[in-house]
Structure 1
Amino acid sequence: MRDYLSATSQFNYQHTVDAALDGDLTALNACVECCDRHALPGRIALFWEGRDGASATYTFSDLQDKAARLANFLLGQGVKKGDKVAGLLPRNIELLITVFATWRIGAVYQPLFTAFGPKAIEHRLSCSGAKVVVTDAGNRSKLTEVADCPTIVTVAGPKGQGVVRGDYSFWAELANYSAECEPVLLTGEDPFLLMFTSGTTGPSKALSVPLKAIVAFQSYTRDAVDLRPEDAFWNVADPGWAYGIYFGVTGPMAMGHPITFYDGPFTLESTCRVINKYGITNLTGSPTAYRLLIAGGDEFARSIKGKLRIVSSAGEPLNPEVIRWFADNLGVVIHDHYGQTELGMVLCNHHG
C-alpha cells in the first residue's frame, strides 16, 4: 500500500468545507480547488492504464500547466464565463485537461458519454449551446452527423489520424499557448458542470450543477467512501456520467487524491490487472460491474483476495447475493449508496 500524499500536504478538503460553513463561497474556481492548490512538486494526480498495457503517471503540476494552455486557447475562441465546453472523450489525460481548462476560465464543462450516437450528441449540444467540443480520433466521426456542430478540437491519433479539415488539433494548439492563465473566480451559485438527466418523460434534460456542490462531493468521498491518504482509489464509472465526473474526478481530486483511469472495456482480466498493478484498496462501481466480476468465480477471488480494503456501490440497487459473495470470497464488505444526478449522493451506508 502506497502513501500518495506527503506529511506536509495531507488532504486539504477542509479549505472548501470551512468556507462553506462560514458562508464564504464567493471567490472559488473549480480548477484551483481540484488542481492548482495541490500542484506541489511530484504530487501525483492520475495513474493511467491503456487497454494495450501502456501506462503513464501525471502530476497535478502537469495538469496545471496543460490546462492553462488549453484555457488560453479557449479564450482565443471566445469562450467566456458561463459558456459551455463539451468533452466527447475516453478516459485519458486529455479529458482532465479539458475539464480543468474549462473550469479555469469560469466556463461550464459538459460531459458527453462516448457510447452516445450522433443524435444523442446533437440533442445535448443543441440544448447546451456549447461553444467548443473536444473529442478524439475514435469519436470524431460521430460529429460529422451533428447539425450546427460547434468548434471542434480533436486529439489526433497516430500521424494526425482523426483530425478533419477545419478542426483544431489538441496538442498542437497547447504548444502554441502560454501556461500563464489567471483563474476566473466565481460564486458558489455559479454553474461549473452541465449534466443531462433522463427525468420521467421525453428526451434528456439539461441540469446545471453549482460550484458549491464540490463541498458535497468531497464530503461523500471522505465520509461515505472513506477515502484515506494511503488508499489507492479507482472509481470504474465513466466520467461521461454523473457518478464518474462527480466522484471519480471532482471529489477525490478536490481532496488532492490521485485517481485511476483505465481506457478500455470493463472485463474480468482488465479489472484484476488494474487492481493488482496499482494496488487498488478503495474501489467504487456499479452492481452490474460487480456481478460481471463475480461471474469469474474462483479465478477472480484468487487474483484480488486481500487487496481491497473497502468497496462501494452506486447507480442501481445492490442485490444481497453480491454483498454476500464479496464478504465470503474476498473478505470485504460492499456498502450501497443512493444518489441522483440532480442531487448527488443523498442516502449512504458510510464506510468512514
Structure 2
Amino acid sequence: MSTGETWTQIEAALSRDPAEGFNSAQEACSRYADEPGRLALIVRHADGTSERWTYRELDRAAAKAGRMFARAGLRRGDRVAGLLSRQVESWIVALAAWRSGLVYVPLFCGFGTDALAYRLRSSNARLVVAGHQWRDTLEAALSALDEELRVFTVTGPRGSGLVRGDESFWAEWDRSAADGPLAATAAGDPATLLFTSGTTGDPKSCVMPHSALLSVLPFARFSLGVSSRDLLFTAADPGWAYGLYSTGAAPMAMGVPRVLYSGDFDPAAWVRVLREEGVSSIAAAPSAYRKLLSVLRRQGAPGELTAAAAAGEPLDADTAASWADAGAPPIRDGYGLSEIGMVLADLAGDSPPQPGTLGGPVPGFTVRLVHHDGEPVADGESGLIAVERPKYQLSSGYENRPDDWDAKWRGDLFVTDDRARVLSGGRWQFLGREDDMIVTSGYNVSPVEVERVLTEHPGVAEAAAVAGTGRRGGTVVRAVVVRAEPTAPAEELEAELRSAVSRRVGAHAAPRLFDYMDALPRNSVGKLLRSALRSQTEDPHAQP
C-alpha cells in the first residue's frame, strides 16, 4: 500500500472530511456518543474499585467541563494544563479543551517543582487541573511564577488536597450544564502543547494541531492492530504523546475500549486486571514488561491476551524472549518521536518480531537513513533516522524554540538525532542517540548494541554503556552495571561480559572499564540518563 493510499484509508474511516473542519474531541469521542452503551474506558483502582465510562458519558462529562472552563473565563486559544495521570479526569479535561477550542497542556505527574514551573510559565497556562496527590508539588511550582493561575483540584477522600483558593473540580463540574462551547476547529488549529522530556536541554514545547490525531492512526491500526472488538490495556501515562495520542486518542477514535490502572505500578495488580477484564492487547514500555516477567513466570500469561506493543526506549532481546517464553504474545516494538509520530514498528500480521530490531516504516511514512546534511548513507551503513514530511504529523513546530524546529529540516526531510542501520533482511536496528555514540580507537560504538549483550547475562540486572577514560588516556567503553546477584567475583563477571561483547559486537566495543551501581539514573519517565553517567568521575580501573 502506498503512503497516499494509507492516508486515503485513514481519512475514509473518519466521521467527517478533515479538509472541511476537524476536531480531536469529535473524532476521539463525540462521534460515538449516539450509541448509549458503547464502552470507552474502564478505570481500575488499587483498592479494587472500578469505573466504566461509555463514549456518551465521556462526551457529556467533557461538555460539562467545557462549560466549567468557560465560566472560569477561558476563551478559545487559552491554555488549560492537566497535572493528572492514568485517570478519567485526564480524558475529561483533554476532551473538554479540544471541543472548546482551548489548548491542552499535559503535565507528567513525576515532574518536580522546577520542571512544572518551567512548563506552566512557558505554556502561558491560565488554569490547571491537578490531582490531589500532586497538589503540594504544584503549590511549590506556582510560587515560582509571576502570574497567578486558577487551580481546580481533583480532591481525594473527604476533600483532601484542596488548598485555600482552589476550586473543587467535581464540585464545579456538578454545577455546570452540559452545554460547553463547541468550537469549529480546523485540522491545523492547535489542540495540544506537549513538552519533550528535556533529556538534551530545556524541554521543547511541541504544538500539536487537531490533525495530530490523524498522524498516529496508522500506528494504532497497523502496529497495535486493534479494532472495536479488542480491549486495550494502556499503561502509558497521558502526560506524554505515546499515552495521550498513540495508545489513547487514536484507539478511542477507532472505537476501541481501553483499560487504565490508576494505582502505582504493581506487576501483580496489572496481571490481575489483565485476567479479570479479559484484556486482549497491552501497550507498555519495555521496562514495564521486564517487571511483569516474574509474575508471568509464576502464573503464566492471561489467556485472552493476543497482542503486546512497546515503545519509548529500546526493547532488549532478553526481555522480549523471556516474555514470549512465558506464553505471552510476542512484543511488537515501535519507535516514534513527539515531532512526527510513530514511524517505525513491527506490524500486525507480519512475520514474528525479531528482538532487538524493528520491522520497518509504519504505513503512511517514508523513513530513510542519512548523514547530517540529509544525504543518504550507503547500503549497510548506519545513519540518522530521517522522515519525509508526511501528509499528517504529530507536531507543527516548537513554540518556544522555533529556530531549533527549522534546524531539524533539510527541505522536506526531518532529520532526527537518532542513529540506526537497516539489516540485510530489511529490518531496522536502533543504535541510540547520536550524542550517545562512543568513539574509541577510531570506531563508532553503539551503546545500545553493547547494552543488549550486557543485559542478557544472568548476573546483570541493568547495564549502561558510555564513554570513559582509559588508564593510558583515550576513550574506552565504560560499562555501568547493576548486578542481579552480587555474589560471584567481579573479575569473573567482567571477563565474561568482555568476551560476550567481543564475540557478538566486536573487540573494539568490549568494555575496558566497569563501574557498579545499585540503580541506574533515570529521568521522571524512566529513560536512562546517559548524560548523568558521563558526568560522573569514574574510578579508572581500565584495561589499556
TM-score scaled to structure 2, two decimals?
A: 0.59
The one of 94, 115, 120 equivalent to 2:115 is: 120
Kept in 2: contact 1:82–1:106 (CA 8 A): yes
Supply the AA of the counterpart residue of 1:71. G
Tell whether 2:43 aligns with 1:44. no
Please name the residue that 1:276 is paired with. Answer: 275
| CA distance in structure 2 between the aligned counterparts of 1:119 and 1:320, rounded to whole angstroms | 36
Kept in 2: contact 1:84–1:132 (CA 8 A): yes
Kept in 1: contact 2:229–2:256 (CA 8 A): no
Tell whether 2:214 aligns with 1:215. yes
**Secondary structure, counterpart of 1:153 in structure 2:** strand
Tell whether 2:7 aligns with 1:35. no
For structure 1, the residue ranges without an aligned partner over 5 or more in a row are 1-12
What is the deviation of 1:262?
A: 0.3
- Indicate how the Cα distance of structure 1 residues 36 and 24 shifts in structure 2: closer, same or farther if over 3 A, else same: closer
- More moved, 110-119 vs 73-82: 73-82
| Pairs aligned (count) | 337
- Indicate how the Cα distance of structure 1 residues 14 and 105 shifts in structure 2: closer, same or farther if over 3 A, else same: farther
> 1:152-196 deviations in whole A, cap 9, x for unaligned?
001122222211221111111112111123410211111111111
What is the deviation of 1:297?
A: 5.6
Supply the AA of the counterpart residue of 2:12. D
Tell whether 2:307 aligns with 1:313. no
Tell whether 2:157 aligns with 1:162. no
What is the deviation of 1:274?
A: 1.0
What is the deviation of 1:248?
A: 2.7
For structure 2, the residue ranges without an aligned partner over 5 or more in a row are 1-6, 350-544
- Indicate how the Cα distance of structure 1 residues 14 and 67 shifts in structure 2: closer, same or farther if over 3 A, else same: farther
| CA distance in structure 2 between the aligned counterparts of 1:219 and 1:90, rounded to whole angstroms | 25
| CA distance in structure 2 between the aligned counterparts of 1:110 and 1:25, rounded to whole angstroms | 25
Supply the AA of the counterpart residue of 2:217. Q
**Secondary structure, counterpart of 1:97 in structure 2:** helix
The one of 80, 87, 101 equivalent to 1:106 is: 101
| CA distance in structure 1 between the aligned counterparts of 2:328 and 2:93, rounded to whole angstroms | 39
- Indicate how the Cα distance of structure 1 residues 151 and 49 shifts in structure 2: closer, same or farther if over 3 A, else same: same
> 1:180-227 deviations in whole A, cap 9, x for unaligned?
234102111111111111456421121111211211222211111100
> 1:286-342 deviations in whole A, cap 9, x for unaligned?
111111112446214x2x253310111111111112222222221521111100111
Supply the AA of the counterpart residue of 2:260. F
| CA distance in structure 1 between the aligned counterparts of 2:302 and 2:132, rounded to whole angstroms | 38
Please name the residue that 2:19 is paired with. Answer: 25
Tell whether 2:91 aligns with 1:92. no
What is the deviation of 1:269?
A: 0.6
> 1:75-131 deviations in whole A, cap 9, x for unaligned?
122222222111001222211111111111111111111111111110000000011
- Indicate how the Cα distance of structure 1 residues 61 and 19 shifts in structure 2: closer, same or farther if over 3 A, else same: closer
| CA distance in structure 1 between the aligned counterparts of 2:111 and 2:165, rounded to whole angstroms | 23
| CA distance in structure 2 between the aligned counterparts of 1:24 and 1:30, rounded to whole angstroms | 11
TM-score scaled to structure 1, two decimals?
A: 0.90
**Secondary structure, counterpart of 1:91 in structure 2:** coil
The one of 318, 331, 335 equivalent to 1:334 is: 331
| CA distance in structure 1 between the aligned counterparts of 2:160 and 2:9, rounded to whole angstroms | 43
Percent identity over the alignment is 37
What is the deviation of 1:18?
A: 2.9
Please name the residue that 2:226 is paired with. Answer: 227
Supply the AA of the counterpart residue of 2:92. I
| CA distance in structure 2 between the aligned counterparts of 1:152 and 1:107, rounded to whole angstroms | 16
Supply the AA of the counterpart residue of 1:31. A
| CA distance in structure 2 between the aligned counterparts of 1:324 and 1:317, rounded to whole angstroms | 14
**Secondary structure, counterpart of 2:133 in structure 1:** coil
Kept in 1: contact 2:107–2:239 (CA 8 A): yes
- Indicate how the Cα distance of structure 1 residues 326 and 165 shifts in structure 2: closer, same or farther if over 3 A, else same: same
Please name the residue that 2:379 is paired with. Answer: none
**Secondary structure, counterpart of 1:57 in structure 2:** strand
- More moved, 153-162 vs 272-281: 153-162
- Indicate how the Cα distance of structure 1 residues 23 and 169 shifts in structure 2: closer, same or farther if over 3 A, else same: closer
Ranked by relative contact order (alpha carbons within 8 Å, sequence separation 6 or more), the top structure is: 1
Within 5 Å, which residues of 2 pair with 1:60-71? 60-71=55-66
Please name the residue that 2:500 is paired with. Answer: none
Kept in 1: contact 2:275–2:302 (CA 8 A): no
| CA distance in structure 2 between the aligned counterparts of 1:298 and 1:215, rounded to whole angstroms | 38
Structure 1 segments of 4+ aligned residues over 3 angstroms from their partners: 13-16, 198-201
- Indicate how the Cα distance of structure 1 residues 317 and 201 shifts in structure 2: closer, same or farther if over 3 A, else same: closer
Kept in 1: contact 2:232–2:257 (CA 8 A): yes
What is the deviation of 1:14?
A: 8.7
What is the deviation of 1:267?
A: 2.0
| CA distance in structure 2 between the aligned counterparts of 1:77 and 1:224, rounded to whole angstroms | 41
Please name the residue that 2:287 is paired with. Answer: 288
Say which one has the larger Rg.
Answer: 2
Kept in 2: contact 1:26–1:186 (CA 8 A): no
The one of 327, 340, 354 equivalent to 1:343 is: 340
What is the deviation of 1:15?
A: 9.3
| CA distance in structure 1 between the aligned counterparts of 2:55 and 2:9, rounded to whole angstroms | 18
Please name the residue that 1:263 is paired with. Answer: 262
- More moved, 166-175 vs 198-207: 198-207
